Homo-oligomer: A and B are copies of this chain.
Amino acid sequence: MKVLESVAAMRVARQAMAGSMGFVPTMGYLHEGHMALARRARAENEHVVASIFVNPTQFGPHEDFERYPRNQERDLAMLQKEGVDAVFLPPVVEMYPSGSCTYVTVEGLSQKLEGASRPGHFRGVATVVAKLFNIVQPARAYFGQKDAQQVVIIKKMAADLDMNLEIVVCPTVREPDGLAMSSRNVYLNPAERRAALVLWQALCLAREMWQKGERRAEVIPKAMRELIQKEPLARLDYVSLAHSQTLEELESIPKEGEGSVLASLAVYIGKTRLIDNIVLE
């Protein structure tokens, strides 16, 4: 497995890979969710490239960029085990040389949900993903449904800018008790880890109400909010029931054939901000 730290070296490695290329962009500190992406990329393409880059431009000034967990050696061993051909591992200055001033924005979609809580986040995401796509030039790129809004935005960017690749979305991978896998779970102490289950519980409640035929848009979020408020270590950021493609908050829940619904939420567990979602079809 090749490890490439410069754009130039990555381009040379890319040139040598004829045939279909699957790409798994990550911020490292890998878990089973990332491995599921790598395995699917491995199964569907002749070559697989992963990237590990903690992208500073998608973190707000008071967010956890500096302390975001990193473990390069373990990450590389995990990727090698999955048969990844090459890992792009650039330093920040390689991705953002002094004077960088070009940004990709997906307007509208980027201001809602996570974007409302994290201004500039999706501008950073869209820009770095556009750069990585231009460097790696994959036929397919793999993202997790865990970051549901990111997936919607990247698909929109790829379509709007005529990027010649397929965005493949893989299901959220969960711990046995239901907590969505996330690199940030490492921040949780044992009590917080138990409390973090409240995100999944709230989503299961939403799904249950939905399956029982509840179609009043305000009732489900209210029940989710109440459930989260009962957990002393949890502080709600937002709960949302939105159209799964436009991310418009629902006034009323769509009838059959009117599209699916994204139930999503962001919750602070202690100082750790976690997100999760399910699609109600």
Q: What residue of chain B has the Cβ atom nearest to residue A102's Cβ?
A: B160
Nearest B residue to A134 by beta-carbon distance?
Answer: B162
Copies in the complex: 2
Interface residues of A in 3-51 (CB under 8 A from B): 7, 11
User: Among residues 89 to 111 in chain A, which have CB atoms less than 8 Å away from a CB atom of chain B?
Assistant: 100-109
Whether B104 and A104, one on each chain, are in contact in the complex, defined by CB atoms closer than 8 angstroms, is yes
Give chain B residues whose Cβ lies under 8 Å from the Cβ of A103.
104-105, 107
Interface size on A, residues (CB 8 A): 26
Nearest B-chain residue to A135, judged by Cβ: B162
Chain B residue at minimum C-beta to C-beta distance from A96: B160
Q: Which of A126, A127, A131, A161 has the most CB of B within 10 A?
A: A161
Checking B11, B160, B164 against A101 with a beta-carbon cut-off of 8 angstroms, the contacting residue is: B160
Q: CB of A130 within 8 A of chain B?
A: yes
Chain B proximity mask over A130-163: 1 for CB below 8 Å, otherwise 0: 1100110100000000000000000011001111
Chain B neighbourhood of A164, CB < 8 A: 11, 134-135, 137
Q: How far is the CA of A135 from the CA of B160 in the complex (A)?
A: 11
Taking the closest CB of chain B, its distance from the CB of A234, in whole angstroms, is 34
Question: B160 contacts A100, CB within 8 Å?
Answer: yes
Rounded to whole Å, the gap between the CB of A25 and the closest CB of chain B is 13
Where the two chains meet, the residues of A that have a C-beta atom closer than 8 Å to any C-beta of B are 7, 11, 100-109, 126-127, 130-131, 134-135, 137, 156-157, 160-164
| Shortest beta-carbon contacts, A-B, top 6 | A102-B160, A134-B162, A101-B107, A131-B162, A102-B106, A135-B162
